[in-house]
Structure 1
Amino acid sequence: MQSFVKHVLLIVCFYFFTATTYAAEFPNFVFIIADDIGWNDIGCYGNRVVKTPHIDRLSAEGMQFNNAFLTASSCSPSRCSIISGKYPHSNGAAELHTPLPESEIPFPLLLKQNGYYTAHAGKWHLGNFTHRAFDRYTDNNGYNNGDGGEANWVRFLRERPKDKPFFFWLASLDAHRPWGADTFHITFDPREVEVPMYYADTEETRQDIASYYNEIARFDYYVGKVREELERQGVLENTVIIVMSDNGSPFPRCKTRVYDSGMKTPFVVYGPKKIRTGAQKTESLISAVDIAPTILELAGVNAPDSYQGTSFSAVLNDPEKEIRSEVFSEHNWHDYEAHERMVRTQKYLYVLNARPALANGGPADSKKSPTQHALNIVRDEERLTPAQADVFVTPRPAEELFDVEKDPLQLLNLASLPDYQEVLSEMRALLNNWRKETGDTTPEHLTPDWYDRETGGPLKVKRVRGTMPGQKE
């Protein structure tokens, strides 16, 4: 009997030792993604008003990427691209509210299959087929995510199994309209906000931006709570934390646009054992499709050959490293018919617009915003500046070229200037090659408008989808 008990204890000890060693050997991951927060609306990225002490601390102790770009400036296409490691037109989820197909391989599924505990809490937007990538998830699963989407973040971390490495996809609803954080923790004074030059500096615009800042502050607060919980559990030192946004802010000329105001994202990586610490900043270009292969490499898991990104793990060890010379993004249907493509290098941004006859004023929620209302008044009074007029322009150029070093806001189109024809040709070739390599198409029958382009209100039309880019007519 005693020998049997000893045998059982040895087996139990062996499995306990194996499980704890496995959990300690491989890093944990906490991936935190905001909703509609612009890249420069975070304190560590230069915003002098908004309060983001917790993200700023992660940046000060980790690495801040100053040239991280999304593949789409729309919620679900951006998130589906991140989790699939593929561009929107390549993964079958190019348009807003189209689910990721079952044929695609979400990278958390590979982590799960290789011993990781995986969980999702908060905003979803990925479709039902992606549920299989997570051991626990909140989407349509009886959970209340709360107004900002962060209600289950700390709870899920506390209730995780302690014998496995873990991956958490924590998604907020902050800072998506309508606003819900005007009385939460930090309340910003509208008189102190920064009003971009392409908006009308009015009282209603300032209050709109102040409410947006309140949402950012709430998001940052919960980032801090996640870090506190990781510290309490004693696992912070073996956890890689990534903080980013899914697209630009929900304001005119930002969300859905292919300019930096729509496609550039804040991107902070913290992880003492995996990256160089001490306020490291890198100018290296990275794309959202690079996230999946990077996390998989850090976890010791092979990425599928179908993934279209490149791991940036080398940059985490050396901020001077460069893994790519350009990034690519796209704008497809998001409330309105659209087909734009862009390529961005360190110096230039090139835009190809297949629907130049259509204005590009932003999504419906932005159309209904106080900031847009203020711009409409200035337009009706014929007082628009060139920067403010951008969201109303029609027809738009079929091609745009910007020198982003001299013109960081992308206000001056250089495509027609003789001195830039060689650059224009080079950028055009880069984009055309990428489109061919990734199977991009320009369907004749795209999904049409479902909302009014002036008011943002729903149109009385039959809501049918056209042909998505990457699919055959």
Structure 2
Amino acid sequence: MTRLRKPMFARSIVILLAGLLLQSIPGVSLQAADRPNVVLFIADDVSWNDYGCYGNAAARTPNIDALAESGIRFDQAYLTASSCSPSRSSIITGRYPHNTGRAAELHQPISVHLPWFPQLLREHGYYTAISGKHHMKTTAPTDEHPQRPDPFDHVDGGKAPGDTSGSANWLSVTQERPKDKPFFFWFASYDAHRGWDADKQWDEELYGPMHRAEDVIVPPFLSDDPETRADLASYYNEVTRFDHRIGVVAEELRSQGVFDNTLILILADNGRPFPRAKTRLHDSGMKTALVASWPNGLKWSGQSDQLVSVIDIAPTALKLAGCVVPETVQGVSMQPLFESQSNSIRKYAFSEHNWHDYEAWGRSVRDGEYLFLVNERVDLPWQGPADSVRSPSHQQLRSLREQGELTEAQADVFLSPRPTVALYHTASDPQQLNNLVGNDRFADVEERLAGVLETWMDETGDSVPGKLYPDTFDRETGSRLKPEQIDIVGAFSPGRDRNADQINAPGPR
């Protein structure tokens, strides 16, 4: 027996060493159970406080609420842009919008040399899939920067006959995945983008009764009238459909026995598509719900007040997968936040607002208590994107304006000129209407945050172009302007003059 044990022991050592060697080779996968799966659910145009677990008693989100109850609900999570494609491009690269190249502005491509984190997961043995809204692309390859490998094994638009939600195929993608690999899913719905297709495709057996206009919660910067309430009810319906599909996937993961080893993150790309929300630097546009579920990995559950930026998602997924985080990533892993409620990963969260239908340039920094922002286009109102301007909710505000009946919160939708700088104490001023700039009591806070923002802009290569891309829609009606009304000659995106897409410095954090 002694003679037999030596060869068996030696063979075990060889197998162990071979396994360790395989772990170090890119693209070679260990067993799926060795590393956590990651599922990212991204809503389209949903504000942070339009979920039940964030205090909205009118919006039905039972599945998200349940995941928040057993996981972590982040109460200080912020986007880098309240604009669809810039926000998504920022998340997938782990970089600030102006550091992604032209993608800092709506519908524009990410610089081709920048890696997307799902690509790195795929190279490390993960099965990767995107189902639903994509809205991301790269610039054309060059000799210096050839086309990067495809980041996803599977790509589909998430639509089916009679279902344009973007979430129609999430269940089938989950069911049909390879069972011998860990997986990463980028599940991105079109809910709740205008124009409210859930109303026409509603299935009461699946989603329950449609929301009633009389039950919705009307934010103070909107008009409380039948038209606006109906608009919000249709929006709530889309939020509920998004929630339902999350529940379907979670149940499938449980049935497969992999739910406990799957990190689920739920967020949105920007605020609701209503006035003073989407495209805003204020909480109504830039703050996002962020719910984390991972029974095997979260050491505690409850509410977290620690600052999180969405650029922190990329390094989190990569580190959990055992990947090397590339130097292009400017975010920081959220893993310490999973370990203890008292841990923190950043002192500041930065956001920016660039062209989205309308000319704009704004920047902000948050420290968890205060929001400080600067605006380099003070003569232009921040009324929201064109689809919001065309909405019944915006047009009702126009009617109140003509009658001289706007409240202070409602009037802010049309305010021009706007302040160049603003400082808000977010806890005591949740709508951010009380500008503290010039108040001696807060002079030190203003000076500190102004300095932090200036340092961030300098270190990350941000800039204010002499000519920004102009309006392409009418600011009053939301109608598209004629080509001869749009002068783009000499216009360019922020950071382009400083080659910000080549700069990896994260700035203060």
* Equivalent in 91, 95, 99 of residue 90 of structure 1: 99
Q: Quote the residue 1:138 is aligned against.
A: 156
1:435 paired residue number: 457
Counterpart check, 1:180 vs 2:197: yes
Whether 1:294 aligns to 2:316 is yes
List per-residue Cα deviations over 1:38-72 (Å, max 9, x = no partner). 00000000001111000011111111111000000
Whether 1:104 aligns to 2:114 is yes
User: For the residues of structure 2 that align with 1:144 and 1:423, how far apart are their CA atoms?
Assistant: 54
The alignment status of 1:455 with 2:473, answered yes or no, reads no
Give 1:145 deviation, angstroms: 9.8
Q: Is the 8 A contact 1:64 1:269 kept in 2?
A: yes
Match for 1:285 among 302, 307, 325?
Answer: 307
Counterpart Cα distance in 1 of 2:127 and 2:29? 13
2:257 maps to amino acid:
G
Q: Is the 8 A contact 1:83 1:107 kept in 2?
A: yes
SS of equivalent to 1:240: strand
Among 42, 46, 53, the alignment partner of 1:33 is: 42
Counterpart contact for 2:160–2:168, Cα < 8 Å: no
Deviation at 1:233, TM superposition (A): 1.5
Matched, 1:468 2:493: yes
Q: CA deviation at 1:405?
A: 2.1
The runs of at least 4 consecutive aligned structure 1 residues that moved more than 3 Å come to: 18-21, 128-131, 141-146, 462-465
Amino acid at match of 1:275: L
Output the CA distance in 2 between the equivalents of 1:307 and 1:175. 29
CA drift of 1:419 comes to: 2.5
When residues 130 and 122 of structure 1 are mapped into structure 2, their CA distance, relative to the original with a 3 A threshold, is farther
Structure 2: which amino acid aligns with 1:471? R
- Mark the CA change 1:460 to 1:131 in structure 2 (over 3 Å): closer, same or farther: farther
RMSD of Structure 2 on Structure 1 (CA): 2.1
Alignment of 1:189-228 (within 5 A): 189-228=212-251
1:64 aligns with 2:95: no
Please list the CA deviations of residues 62-121 of structure 1 after superposition, one character each: whole Å capped at 9, or x if unmatched.
111110000000000000000001000011110000122211110011100111010100
Contact kept? 1:122, 1:145, Cα under 8 Å? no
Name the amino acid aligned to 1:240: L
1:144 shift after superposition: 7.2
Distance 1:180 1:419, change over 3 A: same
* Aligned match of 2:144: none
- The equivalent of 1:398 in structure 2 is 420
Q: 1:142 to 1:195 in 2, by over 3 A?
A: closer
Question: Which of residues 407, 413, 417 in structure 2 aligns to 1:385?
Answer: 407
Distance 1:79 1:144 in 2: 26
Task: State the shift of 1:146 in Å.
Answer: 3.5
- Give the deviation of 1:472 after TM superposition: 1.4
Q: Where do residues 316-395 of structure 1 align in structure 2 (5 Å cutoff)?
A: 316-395=338-417
Q: CA deviation at 1:238?
A: 1.2
Residue in structure 1 matched with residue 141 of structure 2 by the alignment: none
- Partner SS state of residue 391, structure 1: coil
Q: Is the 8 A contact 1:121 1:145 kept in 2?
A: no
CA contact (8 A) 2:114 2:328 kept: no
Greater mean deviation of Cα atoms: 263-272 or 228-237:
228-237
Q: CA deviation at 1:329?
A: 0.1
- TM, length-normalised to structure 1: 0.93
Give the aligned partner of residue 147 of structure 1: 164
User: In structure 2, what residue type is equivalent to 1:109?
Assistant: Q
Q: Provide, for residues 321-366 of structure 1, a one-character-per-residue CA deviation record: whole Å limited to 9, x for no partner.
A: 1111110000000000000000011211011001101111000010
Residue in 2 aligned with 1:231? 254
Letter in 2 for 1:313: Q
**Number of residue pairs aligned between Structure 1 and Structure 2:** 458
The CA deviation at 1:418 is 2.7
In the TM superposition, 1:237-316 aligns within 5 A as 237-277=260-300, 279-316=301-338
Preserved contact between residue 76 and residue 287 of structure 2 (Cα < 8 Å): yes
1:52 aligns to 2:61 (yes or no): yes
Q: Which residue of 2 aligns with 1:4?
A: none
Q: Equivalents in 1 of 2:197, 2:40: separation in Å?
A: 23
Alpha carbons 1:131, 1:137 under 8 Å: kept: no
Q: 1:135 to 1:194 in 2, by over 3 A?
A: same
Give yes or no for contact 1:99–1:125 (8 Å, CA) kept in 2.
no
Equivalents in 2 of 1:138, 1:303: separation in Å? 27
- Corresponding residue of 2:433: 411
Indicate conservation of the 8 Å contact 2:29/2:126, yes or no. no
CA drift of 1:276 comes to 2.4
8 A Cα contact 2:77 2:287, kept in partner: yes
SS of the residue aligned with 1:64?
strand
In the aligned structure 2, how far is the partner of 1:336 from the partner of 1:109?
Answer: 33
Kept after mapping to 2: 8 A contact 1:85/1:293: yes
CA contact (8 A) 2:130 2:154 kept: yes
Partners in 2 of 1:145 and 1:289 — Cα distance?
34
Going from structure 1 to structure 2, the CA distance change for 1:429 and 1:149 (only over 3 Å counts) comes to same
* Cα shift readout 1:158-187 (whole Å, capped 9, x = no counterpart): 111111111010000000000011234230
CA–CA distance in structure 2, aligned partners of residues 319 and 66 of structure 1: 12
- SS in structure 1 at match of 2:497: coil
Q: Which whole-Å deviations, capped at 9, do the CAs of 1:421-461 have from their partners, x for residues lacking one?
A: 22211111010000011110100111000000000110012
Structure 1 counterpart of 2:186, from 169, 172, 177: 169
Q: CA deviation at 1:127?
A: 1.2
SS at match of 2:325: coil
Question: 1:403 offset after TM fit, Å?
Answer: 1.0
In 2, the alpha carbon distance for the partners of 1:143 and 1:160 equals 19
Q: Secondary structure at the match of 2:409?
A: helix
Aligned mates of 2:221, 2:127 — CA distance in 1: 45
Q: Which residue does 1:159 correspond to in 2?
A: 176
- Deviation of 1:205 after TM superposition, in Å, equals 0.6
Where does structure 1 lack aligned partners over 5 or more consecutive residues? Answer: 1-10
2: CA distance between counterparts of 1:255 and 1:131?
A: 33
Q: 1:250 corresponds to which letter in structure 2? A: P
